[in-house]
Structure 1
Amino acid sequence: MGALMRYWIVILTYSSSSLLRAEGVGRSHFSRTFLDEAGQASEPEAMVPLANLCRVSTVVVLDGDPKQLGPVVSSKDADTLGLGRSYLERLF
């Protein structure tokens, strides 16, 4: 983990970002968080890196096209509750 933290840029999946937090990486370690393909991520998926690695002053960039394929949900209940809509789409 120490070797990983020497880099300026660390690329992770949404869910693996929680592993950094579990290893003790604080919210103040990164000044910027870039969420690629945010148009395909459900809101709970997008919250994983935001909740684990961001503080109030962290610059967050969401990249993606909300008009393309959104989150894939197989449950009608989940879709009814809005999980078929991306966080990016909900914001804009």
Structure 2
Amino acid sequence: MRVFILALATTFCAGTVSADQQAAEACKSKLSPIGQEIYAASLAQHPTEATGREIVKSEVEKLMAEGKISMSDARSEGQAAGDCLKLLK
């Protein structure tokens, strides 16, 4: 009986995570290529609610320094990538 309950709980939790991941992936697919790069680089750093904004900001600043994104596009691209990351709760 314990094994059944544990298996059921694990399945339920996995389904919830999967739904969040699916929503985030759907959001990511709508991003521009540079937005997808910001999203992927930020996700690789395992952002939390407390650190997510700073991680995205750091990635955007890095791309600006490399000349891959203009200052005028930086805010909107970072915001869009951050909105997708928020879906991962």
TM-score, normalising length: structure 1: 0.25
- Return the structure number with greater relative CO, CA threshold 8 A, min gap 6: 2
More strand per residue: 1 or 2?
Answer: 1
* TM-score when normalising by structure 2: 0.26
